[in-house]
Amino acid sequence: MLGTLRQMLTCHWSARRIQRYLDADPAARLTPGETSRLEEHLATCERCAEVAAENRALHRALSAWTGMRSVDPRSVDRVRSFLSTIDDEDPR
């Protein structure tokens, strides 16, 4: 009974940190202690490990969404040329 309750609390604690763990964003890094505790939990909890795996798969699928990621190099060139125009005309 106590073990189940402890497991539930750890799952809850982990669920609130999985996103930050996977993203490792500079604005919301986990402490080394939190990272170790979470990794230990993911190694033993099938359900939380599955959530982490699904999040990784989702990120992979969205990252591979080339239709949104690719920019026509001609667009980049045009903006570069525009920067030169700003240099020439000085809009201040």
Partner 1 sequence: MTDRRTPDDTTRKATFREIVEPEIEVMLRVAFSITSSPADGEDLVQESLLRAYKALDRFDGRHPRAWLLTILRHTNANMHRRRRPGTVGDWEVIRSAKPAFGRSELPSAEDSVIDLELHPALDAAVRALDPRFRSALILVDVHDLSYAEAAAVMGVPVGTVMSRLSRARDRVRKALRATPLTRGDL
Contact residues: partner 1, CB under 8 A: 19-20, 23, 25-28, 51, 53-63, 65-69, 71-72, 75-76, 78-80, 82-83, 86-87, 90-92
Contact assessment for residue 77 and residue 42, using Cβ atoms and an 8 Å cutoff: no
CA angle 74, 78, 83 (to 5 degrees): 145
Query: At its nearest, how many Å lie between partner 1 and the CB of residue 1?
Result: 29
6 versus 28: smaller Cβ distance to partner 1: 28
Residue number, 4 or 70, with CB nearest to partner 1: 70
Cα Rg for the chain, rounded, in angstroms? Answer: 22
Nearest distance from C-beta of residue 6 to partner 1, angstroms: 24
C-alpha 30/C-alpha 16 separation (Å) is 11
